[in-house]
Amino acid sequence: MSDQKILELFKNGKRSKAFKELYRLYPRIEKLILSKGGKKSDAQDVFQEALIILNRNLQKSDFKLTASFSTYLYSVSRFVWKDMQNKFSTQELHDLKDNEVSIFHHVLEEKKYRFAESAFRELGERCQELLQRFYFKKMSFKAIAEVMQFKSEKIAKNQKYKCLQKAKDIYRTTAKTVQP
């Protein structure tokens, strides 16, 4: 499938299909990570991260993919891996090219979201489900109340605020302890 077609899949909301297509590029990334001393499981984590970053950028209106998916994912993966290893020297950062700077920026941005994710994962299962349904699946409170058997829309709504607040509290404390 050509890059153009995969882009269309993203545009038409057929994200899972697009991911499946992009997975064809995985062997190349695996090779890269293995050559840099990582394990297979590392390679999978890195590739997953790269796909998430790609997806986020595609949703931004001002983002334009200048290279092929393959090249883009390759360089993002490289940065993700380096960042995981904390291997950036000041000199390297100094020598970054323009497009590399933006990729580096995306990787750092994603790190923040990773903390949010781990905060979210510390919530109770029900809280997780509720927030997922509302924010990720964009379900209405009415539908959520029905599926999750809340007595009313209002209760579902209140519960959502509480869950959100809890996630934020966790995020704040972890962000403080982890970030210098």
Contact residues for another protein (CB under 8 A)?
A: 15-16, 19-20, 22-24, 26, 44, 48, 51-52, 55-56, 112-121, 128, 131-132, 135-137, 161, 164, 167-168, 171
Tell me, rounded to whole angstroms, the distance of Cα 48 from its chain centroid.
8
Q: How far is the CB of 88 from another protein (least distance, A)?
A: 23
Nearer to another protein (CB atom), residue 87 or residue 168: 168
Structure tokens at 2: 């050509």
State which residue, 6 or 103, has the beta carbon closest to another protein: 6
Q: Which residue has the tokens 């996630």?
A: 167
Residues in the chain: 180
Question: Which residue lies nearer to another protein by CB, 19 or 74?
Answer: 19
Report the residue number, 11 or 87, with the smaller CB distance to another protein: 11
Pull the structure tokens for residue 48.
Answer: 């997953």
Residue 132 vs residues 13, 50, 125, 149, 164: alpha-carbon distances, Å: 17, 22, 10, 16, 11
Work out how close the CB of 51 gets to another protein at its nearest, in angstroms, rounded to a whole number: 5
Q: For residue 38, which phi and psi values (nearest 5 degrees)? A: -90, 170
Give least dist CB 87 to another protein, A: 24
What is the closest distance, in whole angstroms, from the C-beta atom of residue 135 to another protein in the complex?
5
Residue 70 in tokens: 């393959």
